[in-house]
Structure 1
Amino acid sequence: MSREIAFDFEKFRVFFQNYSLSGFDRNTQLLDNLSQLHKKYFAFLTFIAELQYQKENPSRGISPFVTDNQLTYLTEACSDIGNAIFISVHGAYKASKLMLRSSIETFCKGIFEDEEPKILTEKSLYVIFDLIMELDSIKQEPSKTVFQTIHNEYKKLCADTHTATTINMAQITALKYFPAYDNKSMNEIKDVIFKLIPSYLFLLGLKYNKYYSKMDYRNKASIITQIKKELRPIIQGVK
């Protein structure tokens, strides 16, 4: 048995030694998806970086104040999105969805901790979402609808987490499957991110509007263009 294990481990080692994504740069469908995802992800990264910068270089009258703990969670939410994109390129689509689910959890803790501290200690995600939906800031439109979008995506992603049906199963039994590309699966990942990031950016832009107003115009442009058109005037102060 030990000889068989050693023999198989050698093949295992060689697999990782030879693992490569070379050739994926010729996949036009993948590149198109990545280009679209990059715009969304870059906007989210920019907002988090601005919160960090302005927190370290505060201006008078900036409120609400973003705490270190909030920023940690928001940064992790952004990191989760980046990880989801990275592993989806390799074909790990179910794992990517798990990271997106994690992103929602960390984002909610980061943006709503100051309004409802209980969400940091509450173990039930059902209760956490109920607490958030009772917040005054979320009871109002369009925030209510925007947050409902996030919640709806979370419920869908939970089906993958708990492998609700065979549709949610990856059923990968050999590492030689990777790297792989499936356009349908990649589009599913893209569709979730296309709903999450614009929703994240709107809620961040609304809550931290004074931070947004002080950003460099190039950073503002990167962010606002990734928010739904009908919601942009609210963040820009037109409505």
Structure 2
Amino acid sequence: MRETRADFDELKEFVRGYGIAPSVTDDSFVDNLRIGHKRLFGFLTFVGEIASTNCSTNKFSDDSMSYFAECSSDVAQAVFCWIHGAYKPAYLSLRSSIETFIKAVVCTEDPTVLTEKSMYELFDIAKKSESCSGQAVDHFTKIKEMYAQLCGIAHSATAARFTQVCAFRMFPKFEETDAGTFISCFVSLVDRFIAVLLAGNRNLLPLMHFRNRQIVLETLPQQIKRSILGEEAP
């Protein structure tokens, strides 16, 4: 129909002129982006070092490395959605990253997690694994708590969670409160991801390129570093 064609022409024009440059002029947007980037960069750097050394250490299975890659993708996509103001999809990607992360760290030890469909069962299996025990316990528990919170956001249990996007022209957008809330959640979760990895891979630190080691360690709050590294924490 004529109306459909006309609307599609408008969509093409929207896509042709789409950009997020206005957001970058907002100091609050840039501040939040900088905080989110620091965690994202630190996590991707750590996963990259794990992949690099795994060729010689063979600590993780091929399936595990595939899930590390997918978790990295989930975390990066969460930030990408956030940049455009698509906050609900950002939370969905973050929730997905928890499943891929748990499978990544546990599946070498217990491959049954790869076919487990229930997240509650997945958490129970992970809780019994070496990867989520010892110094990683508290951080794993926090990840589990955050998964429950993210489920509440994803299912839009209340009207306060509705995003009500009814037109593409609403993007890109930046809402300071919503953006800040997501970044706080993102930082808390990714800190725990890195903490679990660090707790189970302390012997990897000396093998890292010194710059990458510095990036990873500077990402974490001092309290978390000390809980894992003790007096060795920089």
1:225 aligns to what SS in structure 2?
helix
Counterpart check, 1:149 vs 2:142: yes
Which residue of the partner structure matches residue 206 of structure 2? 213
Which residue of the partner structure matches residue 189 of structure 1? 182
In structure 1, how many angstroms separate the alpha carbons of the residues matched to 2:196 and 2:149? 21
**Structure 1 counterpart of 2:78, from 66, 84, 87:** 84
Unaligned 5+ residue runs, structure 2?
A: none
Which residue of the partner structure matches residue 31 of structure 1? 30
Which residue of the partner structure matches residue 104 of structure 1? 98
In structure 1, how many angstroms separate the alpha carbons of the residues matched to 2:115 and 2:132? 20
Unaligned 5+ residue runs, structure 1?
A: none
Which residue of the partner structure matches residue 6 of structure 1? 5
Identity of aligned residues (%): 30
1:207 is aligned with what amino acid? Answer: G
In structure 2, how many angstroms separate the alpha carbons of the residues matched to 1:231 and 1:95? 28
Cα displacement (A) at 1:237: 6.6
**Structure 2 counterpart of 1:167, from 144, 160, 165:** 160
Which residue of the partner structure matches residue 17 of structure 1? 16
Which residue of the partner structure matches residue 40 of structure 1? 39
In structure 2, how many angstroms separate the alpha carbons of the residues matched to 1:41 and 1:203? 15
**Structure 2 counterpart of 1:71, from 65, 68, 75:** 65
Cα displacement (A) at 1:122: 1.0
Q: Given the superposition, is the C-alpha separation of residues 70 and 136 from structure 1 closer, same or farther in structure 2, using an over 3 Å criterion? A: closer
In structure 1, how many angstroms separate the alpha carbons of the residues matched to 2:138 and 2:52? 30
Which residue of the partner structure matches residue 52 of structure 2? 53
Which residue of the partner structure matches residue 172 of structure 2? 179
Cα displacement (A) at 1:137: 4.7
Task: Count residues with an aligned counterpart.
Answer: 232
Instruction: After TM superposition, list the pairs within 5 Å mapping 1:219-238 onto structure 2.
Output: 219-233=212-226, 235-236=228-229, 238=231
Cα displacement (A) at 1:22: 2.0
In structure 2, how many angstroms separate the alpha carbons of the residues matched to 1:234 and 1:154? 22
In structure 1, how many angstroms separate the alpha carbons of the residues matched to 2:4 and 2:81? 28
2:219 aligns to what SS in structure 1?
coil
1:231 is aligned with what amino acid? Answer: I
In structure 2, how many angstroms separate the alpha carbons of the residues matched to 1:109 and 1:206? 17
Q: Given the superposition, is the C-alpha separation of residues 228 and 22 from structure 1 closer, same or farther in structure 2, using an over 3 Å criterion? A: closer
Cα displacement (A) at 1:227: 2.2
State TM-score, norm by structure 2: 0.92
Decide whether the 8 Å contact of 1:163 with 1:169 is kept in 2.
yes
Decide whether the 8 Å contact of 1:160 with 1:169 is kept in 2.
no
Decide whether the 8 Å contact of 1:159 with 1:168 is kept in 2.
no
Q: Higher helix share goes to which structure? A: 2
Cα displacement (A) at 1:163: 2.0
Deviations 1:162-209 (A, max 9, x none): 222212221111111101000111112111111111111111112122
Cα displacement (A) at 1:123: 0.9
